[in-house]
Amino acid sequence: MSITIKVPAVGESITEVTVGQWFKNDGDFVEMDEVLCELESDKATFELTAEAAGILHTKAEEGDSLEIGAVICEIDPDAKEEAASGKPEAEKSTPSETKSASPKQTGEVKEMRVPTVGESITEVTLATWLKEDGDYVALDDIIAEVDSDKATFELPAEASGILRQVAQEGDTLEIGGLICKIEETDGAPSGEAETSSAAEAPENTAKGNSGKETYASGHASPAAAKILAEKGIASNAVAGTGKDGRITKEDALKAEQSKPAAAASKSAVADKSKPAEQPEAPQKTGTRGSRREKMTSLRKTISRRLVSVKNETAMLTTFNEVNMKPIMDLRKQYKDKFKERYEVNLGFMSFFTKAACIALQEWPAVNAQIDGNEIVYHDFCDVSIAVSSPKGLVVPVIRNAEQLSFAEIEKEVVRLAIKAREGKLTIDEMTGGTFTLTNGGIFGSMMSTPIINAPQAAILGMHNIVERPMAVNGEVKILPMMYLALSYDHRIIDGRESVSFLVRVKELLEDPSRLLLGI
């Protein structure tokens, strides 16, 4: 008797879901707890697993909208023995069977689930599989890279054996979600078995183990999708050479956009087919293409947090300007000796960090935060610095910046910026800041109103340096000026504290000797 699988309840306010992607085809044999498809709601994506082993009979297509409780598929468990008896004959030529023929399987299967990677992280995205489905993996081998909204993590194998992938590249998984299985073995496969499987692999590159096209056929990996989008090439125009026909990064790099001449010839044919009496439309040059890209976990988190800050805080911005000539003269005089001694450049960030720390200690409300009905004041300065990384804006933290020297601050800035651009920042390095510095001036920004980095109470925005005529002691002088912007939460910081803080920062920067003396 067939087992009916219905759309499960996935949340109190969710009444319907959409079938996103079938991982198994109608008529396939499925194991119990094997992922069958993805269900998308207006809030999250869920996986539908098999409730028994047997032959799958789908009742809905990809893109169909189903109400909670609607029948989505059926599984015939009575066909289990028949399917199993015919299975070895069909799988003799598969790479996974060849690989598993050498090592002796213990019969135990290790399920690997998404680990807990941080208190505030509830889901991750599978970025890249570093091992193929059916590969032999040893204990602690890195098998995949996982992206969260804050950092990228490596996933090590929890056992030695044959890898069976459950999730696909680009899938979003909740913490604790099943990501793969490892069929444990007593030993590693022989070199001959690996060579045999490698020789047979090209025959199945565009098709699955059964010789049929799978959901991976023509699907681009995240890296390949990005390259194709930059080239303006559709994924269906590229032949994939990866596993199951997946489009790899190499395929995307080799792909070339169709020649403009082809489009021009089509246009010419279309013009000839028009009646002679009709006026010709002006020819348009260039392309008018557009593309859609799924938001990354990091971008969704940034969006959610920024909207939350705007809605939940009484944010206000105050401005001032600072004469950067004293600092620029000081850097010009000592930058070579500074680099020779400390092996790091003397930048503006150390001056602003030191100035901010002194001002924060004098005006502690700017260094505080709200926790429920209480205000938490900090006697230390953990300064967050906004860094633009390839995946989006990240904000690593310089711990106890008030105790660091100019050289120590510069070295820490360089270290954190490099890790941010390589996507190797840890959760601890991005949490717990008490105040934030952001430098939009490196991109040419003249003035802006930065958004507070919650739960902090304030953020200082730096901008580009522009030479402007200024009145100095009754004379007009051309000076390098910078606008400063302090955005703050008016719930705990009054105008007196915010303006006084910014004036204090201005005094310290315009007379750098004050930074050394602390006056």
Residues identified as active-site: 490, 494
DSSP code per residue over 218-252: TPBPHHHHHHHHHHT--GGGS---SGGGPBPHHHH
Q: Which residue has the tokens 């998308």?
A: 40
DSSP code per residue over 400-434: TGGG--HHHHHHHHHHHHHHHHTT---SGGGS--S
Of 428, 344, 424, which Cα lies nearest the Cα of 382?
428
Kindly report the number of other CB atoms within 10 A of residue 43's CB atom. 10
User: Do the Cβ atoms of 394 and 428 come closer than 8 Å?
Assistant: no
Check residue 139 and report its DSSP letter: T
Compute the distance between CA of residue 470 and CA of residue 466 in angstroms, rounded to an integer.
Answer: 12
Compute the distance between CA of residue 300 and CA of residue 450 in angstroms, rounded to an integer.
Answer: 19
User: Do the Cβ atoms of 367 and 347 come closer than 8 Å?
Assistant: no
The residue type of 456 is Q
SS3 label, residue 509: helix
User: Percentages helix, strand, coil for the chain, rounded to the nearest 5?
Assistant: 35, 30, 40
Q: Cα dihedral angle (462, 466, 471, 473), rounded to 10 degrees?
A: 70
First-residue to last-residue Cα distance in the chain: 84
